[in-house]
Amino acid sequence: MMLSGVVYGGRTAPFLLALPVLVASALLPWQAGWICAVAAIIVLGVPHGALDVEIARTLLRGQFPHSWFPVFAAPYLLLVGAVLLAWHWAPEATLAAFLLASVWHFGTEDTCDGGLSALAWGGLPIAVPVLLQPAATVRILSAVSGLALDGIPPWLFACSLAWLIPLSVVVVRSRGRNLALPATTFAGFAILPPLTAFALYFVAVHAPAHTAALISHPQRAPRVRDALTAWRLALPTTVLTVAIGAALWPFYSGPMPVRLLCLTLQMLAGLTLPHMMLEAWLKDRIPNFYSELYSPRQTFDRVTH
């Protein structure tokens, strides 16, 4: 709770709103638990990506004063659509690409670093449930990919085992105080249902840190001044995203919890691609645009020591 308050600039509301939903998702049968966890991801996690619109506004409004939004949104949505099609054309390859991209995205953004540190901490939300809760993880992977998996795919199990190597190296090299948040995250993914643990990580660690980075550096998104304006400015794009998801609902099938999870995580994968491409472009073209990012690991260490 303290971490969420710090990275949101002293506001614990997002974490407190998510807490009862996530508790319910951990205690209820898996079908109801999935619905609760997905609701937390959509309402409290997706808006951080919606703030890409504010970055685009900063970058494009000078050159395209009246058409900056369609100039930004058109290629963004085309990439999302391409990923959604890829889920249907090559589900296992798309699943592998999504997991790999997630490892790098979480690792580089949450540690403000690359290399082994990014691989070790970014792989934690995926490798831990694969190794420690395989049955529950397979159910999620099957729902998201549409594949009838009877176990963890061999390539994913092998990658998760290999992940233990960079994890061990980074743990040995790290000072004890730098392990507080990773250890807490590890425990969450080891104990809680995998989807509940992911929702908690996404809502209380990853999304708040990204939002805090924009608040701390107003040149990126001048209108994002605090947590309240961040939520207000993210709302229209978040609503649009939910509306797109609702429009796609008839194209998905299966029991309601499975259908909801599949659509949500496939869309999350689609949104992750342009989100990562935007960040990569900014880092390459605009020096220091993403320097001094808020690291949730560093923030946690400051709070707990």
Taking a C-beta distance cutoff of 8 angstroms, is the pair 17, 187 a contact? no
51 pLDDT band, cuts 50/70/90, is very high
Asked whether residue 59 is domain-assigned, the answer is yes
Most confident of 177-191, 226-240, 249-263: 249-263
| pLDDT at residue 113 in the model | 65
Asked whether residue 112 is domain-assigned, the answer is no
Asked whether residue 67 is domain-assigned, the answer is yes
Question: Does the model's pTM come out above 0.85?
Answer: yes
User: How distant is the alpha carbon of residue 241 from its chain centre?
Assistant: 15
Asked whether residue 130 is domain-assigned, the answer is no
Residue numbers of the domain that contains 247:
2-90+177-304
218 pLDDT band, cuts 50/70/90, is confident
Three-state SS annotation for 33-100: HHHHHHHHHHHHHHHHHHCHHHHHHHHHCCCCCCCHHHHHHHHHHHHHHHHHHHHHHCHHHHHHHHHH
Asked whether residue 141 is domain-assigned, the answer is no
Domains contained in the chain, number: 1
Retrieve residue 109's tokens.
Answer: 């953004």
Asked whether residue 187 is domain-assigned, the answer is yes
Asked whether residue 254 is domain-assigned, the answer is yes
| pLDDT at residue 14 in the model | 58
Asked whether residue 105 is domain-assigned, the answer is no
184 pLDDT band, cuts 50/70/90, is confident
| pLDDT at residue 252 in the model | 95
The pLDDT tens digits for 256-305 are 999 999 999 999 999 999 998 888 777 766 655 554 444 454 444 433 33
